[in-house]
């Protein structure tokens, strides 16, 4: 049986369709979904309505026929038909009881790894050398990491790639500036402190724009770098290393694992890209540059848009590098799937790269390529996020601020922590809050960054969920039952299986068994906010249950069942939050 109840019901309905109407319906989508309105049931199948025309029968008759062939008595109550022909099913309480009893000791909560894992590249974070990582990269980092965690949990073989912007004409200016402003830099063996690389970049840019002689030297430096000039290479390496150290601090703070494979990695493959595209008959010359004219993209005049793959000066572009990377990943890495996480502003770029690769015949049908776009992070005024002085916000400072504010909140509540523990709590709350506020949004929309909102103790926030976890853990600890032991013990006289009677208990149980399908949905749609919503609802359902059902005072059986519900809720919260990339605390 599938881990995901939703998938299981789809399978059962499909089988019923085939039994009722024949093999030709084996691939028909039975339109099964989790019910929105729980008064009618837990899952709904709308196939009867979709089939009416094809079968030339009334939806209600079709529904009756499907139900007659539906085999679900191990998981569901007998199905009911409502309205014009909706089929509703309700989960069986006995199923919930057995299922929860079984998954309780398991850290994966009964969710097994996929039988056929894929090799998947998640291309995320990908900041640019000598430029500060900005909030756009923060979004990519947080969303990309979450997607990677979910896919890894499912058992996929995930390669987390950092496509760092470490190549391009801007290095001419940076190298030249390095040589003029820090003449000794290249002779020093040990780590060189260039100071703030963003300031460095700005100063270099200023010089470049103002000084024609500098500009010419910079141009030559690019040529030098490309042709392997030793000094230019060394300068480039220094700049990359310095940036890398800065990036790493952020990754360490956020607990992000990434493998760097920057743009420069593909340098030697670029000529082949252009050559093979030419051979495929896709390349045309346009104003001295080599281009592929895109289908479905036009300029303002309505003419087909050219994608430049080699500039008139012989240089290559961001897109050429992505074409090389795509080919490398397919041929060398042998991936089944590639996921690119960047802001929505790059949607055209990826659509164009994918189109060219496709027309060149480089995309096997079995390989799935997806761009996962996300919206902007705005300031609370709804405009671009800026510091008070109008600068772009630095990531490091943004994270520090979140931690500082979390710490101030703790101070105000005056908990009895020692200093070290308070630091740990504040750091966890601060960083979790930033991550969660991002992930809880539908990623395609813009969102307003607000420390107050993300740190609020109430609502769909990290602090709310962190406290919920601590509270639930506390209750389940009070019961002093060793659950792991409980299920394994052979001579138990006390109750050892969960029994559910109250409505709030059953509601909570139903939500608990839907973790698998939630994870499945996040993996399919690449929408982390689905998991956030699930966890938020879980803590609400837990509260309703806890309000209504005494946990410690009931009979032995009630005590066991309800403490088990607490235990499974805590485990689910922890697993879910970890999959989002959040840390939990045991005590707050
Ligand atoms: N460095 C790019 C940027 O900062 C993002 C790279 C995304 N990945 C890729 N394969 N193009 O916008």
ipTM here:
0.99
204 φ, ψ (degrees, to nearest 5): -65, -45
Task: Kindly give, in sequence order, each residue whose CB lies less than 8 Å from that of residue 312, ignoring residues fewer than 6 positions away.
Answer: 287, 288, 289
Task: Give nearest CA residue, ligand 1 atom 4.
Answer: 127
Question: Which of 91, 118, 133 is the C-terminal boundary of a domain?
Answer: 91
pLDDT, residue 489, reads: 45
358/323 Cα distance (integer angstroms): 10
310 lines ligand 1 (CB under 6 A): no
User: 574 and 482 in one domain?
Assistant: yes
CA 335 to centroid of ligand 1, rounded, Å? 19
pLDDT, residue 460, reads: 97
Q: Are 249 and 129 in contact (CB under 8 A)?
A: no
User: 443 and 496 in one domain?
Assistant: no
* Mutation to probe ligand 1, out of 342, 354, 374 (largest number of atoms < 8 A from CB): 342
The minimum-distance atom of ligand 1 relative to the CA of 349 is: 11
Task: Kindly give, in sequence order, each residue whose CB lies less than 8 Å from that of residue 364, ignoring residues fewer than 6 positions away.
Answer: 330
527/505 Cα distance (integer angstroms): 29
Successive 10-residue mean pLDDT values, the chain, 588 residues: 93 97 94 90 96 94 97 97 95 97 94 97 95 87 98 98 94 92 73 70 93 95 91 92 91 97 97 98 95 95 94 93 98 98 97 98 97 94 80 86 96 90 97 98 95 96 97 86 54 74 97 98 98 98 96 89 95 98 95
User: 470 and 427 in one domain?
Assistant: no
User: 474 and 405 in one domain?
Assistant: no
Question: Which of 41, 73, 91 is the C-terminal boundary of a domain?
Answer: 91
Q: Are 568 and 512 in contact (CB under 8 A)?
A: yes
- Overall domain count for the chain: 4
* Beta-bridge partner residues of 119: 157
> For residue 407, what are the domain limits?
395-454
* Mutation to probe ligand 1, out of 319, 346, 351, 373 (largest number of atoms < 8 A from CB): 346
User: 441 and 476 in one domain?
Assistant: no
Look-up: residue for tokens 């309800």?
562
pTM: 0.94
CA 233 to centroid of ligand 1, rounded, Å? 22
126 lines ligand 1 (CB under 6 A): yes
Q: Are 374 and 341 in contact (CB under 8 A)?
A: yes
pLDDT, residue 490, reads: 45
User: 571 and 466 in one domain?
Assistant: yes
Task: Give nearest CA residue, ligand 1 atom 11.
Answer: 322
Task: Give nearest CA residue, ligand 1 atom 5.
Answer: 126
29/24 Cα distance (integer angstroms): 12
339: three-class secondary structure by DSSP? strand
pLDDT, residue 415, reads: 85
CA 126 to centroid of ligand 1, rounded, Å? 5
Residue 524 domain-assigned (yes or no): yes
Residue 284 domain-assigned (yes or no): no
DSSP class of 267 = G
171/218 Cα distance (integer angstroms): 8
145 φ, ψ (degrees, to nearest 5): -65, -40
322 lines ligand 1 (CB under 6 A): yes
The minimum-distance atom of ligand 1 relative to the CA of 131 is: 4
CA 344 to centroid of ligand 1, rounded, Å? 12
Cα separation values, 287 from 77, 278, 290, 485, Å: 70, 17, 8, 75
505/135 Cα distance (integer angstroms): 42
165 lines ligand 1 (CB under 6 A): yes
Residue 155 domain-assigned (yes or no): no
Q: Are 422 and 407 in contact (CB under 8 A)?
A: yes
DSSP class of 119 = E
Question: Which of 235, 255, 275 is the C-terminal boundary of a domain?
Answer: 255
User: 528 and 438 in one domain?
Assistant: no
């Amino acid at each position: 049986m599938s881990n995901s109840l939703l998938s299981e019901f789809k399978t059962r309905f499909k089988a019923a369709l085939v039994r009722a109407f024949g093999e030709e319906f084996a691939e028909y989508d039975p339109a099964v979904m989790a019910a929105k309105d729980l008064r009618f049931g837990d899952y709904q199948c709308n196939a009867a309505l979709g089939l009416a025309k094809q079968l030339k029968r009334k939806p209600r008759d079709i529904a009756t026929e499907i139900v007659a062939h539906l085999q679900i008595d191990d998981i569901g109550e007998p199905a009911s038909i409502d309205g014009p022909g909706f089929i509703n099913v309700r989960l069986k309480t006995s199923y919930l009881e057995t299922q929860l009893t079984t998954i309780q000791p398991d850290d994966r909560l009964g969710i097994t790894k996929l039988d056929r894992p894929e090799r998947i590249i998640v291309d995320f974070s990908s900041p640019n050398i000598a430029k500060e990582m900005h909030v756009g990269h923060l979004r990519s980092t947080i969303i990309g990491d979450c997607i990677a965690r979910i896919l890894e949990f499912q058992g996929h073989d995930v390669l987390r790639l950092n496509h760092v912007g470490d190549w391009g004409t801007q290095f001419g200016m940076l190298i030249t500036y390095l040589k003029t402003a820090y003449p000794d830099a290249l002779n020093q063996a040990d780590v060189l402190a260039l100071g703030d690389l963003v300031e460095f970049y700005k100063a270099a840019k200023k010089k470049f724009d103002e000084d024609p002689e500098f500009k010419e030297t910079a141009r030559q430096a690019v040529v030098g770098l490309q042709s392997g000039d030793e000094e230019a290479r060394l300068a480039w390496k220094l700049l990359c290393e310095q940036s890398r150290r800065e990036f790493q601090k952020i990754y360490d703070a956020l607990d992000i694992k990434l493998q760097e494979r920057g743009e420069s990695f593909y340098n030697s493959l670029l000529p082949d890209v252009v050559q093979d595209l030419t051979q495929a008959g896709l390349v045309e010359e346009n104003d001295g540059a080599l281009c592929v004219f895109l289908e479905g993209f036009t300029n303002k005049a309505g003419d087909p848009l050219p994608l430049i793959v080699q500039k008139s000066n012989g240089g290559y572009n961001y897109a050429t590098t992505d074409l090389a990377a795509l080919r490398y990943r397919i041929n060398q890495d042998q991936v089944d799937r590639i996921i690119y996480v960047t802001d929505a502003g790059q949607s055209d770029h990826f659509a164009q790269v994918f189109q060219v690769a496709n027309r060149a015949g480089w995309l096997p049908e079995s390989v799935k390529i997806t761009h996962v776009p996300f919206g902007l992070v705005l300031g609370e005024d709804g405009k671009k996020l800026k510091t008070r002085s109008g600068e772009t916000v630095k990531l490091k400072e943004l994270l520090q601020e979140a931690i500082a504010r979390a710490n101030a909140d703790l101070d105000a509540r005056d908990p009895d922590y020692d200093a070290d523990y308070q630091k740990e709590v504040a750091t966890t709350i601060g960083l979790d809050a930033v991550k969660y506020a991002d992930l809880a949004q539908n990623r395609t929309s813009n969102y307003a960054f607000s420390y107050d909102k993300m740190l609020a103790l109430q609502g769909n926030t990290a602090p709310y969920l962190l406290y919920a976890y601590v509270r639930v853990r506390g209750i389940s600890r009070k019961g002093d039952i060793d659950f792991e032991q409980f299920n394994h013990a052979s001579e138990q006289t006390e109750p050892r299986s969960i029994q559910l009677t109250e409505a709030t208990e059953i509601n909570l149980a139903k939500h608990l068994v839907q973790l698998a399908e939630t994870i499945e949905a996040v993996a399919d749609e690449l929408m982390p906010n689905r998991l956030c919503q699930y966890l938020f609802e879980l803590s609400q359902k837990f509260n309703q249950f806890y309000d209504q059902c005494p946990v410690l005072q009931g009979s032995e059986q009630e005590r066991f069942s309800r403490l088990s519900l607490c235990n499974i809720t805590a485990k689910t919260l922890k697993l879910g939050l970890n999959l989002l990339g959040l840390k939990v605390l045991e005590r707050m």
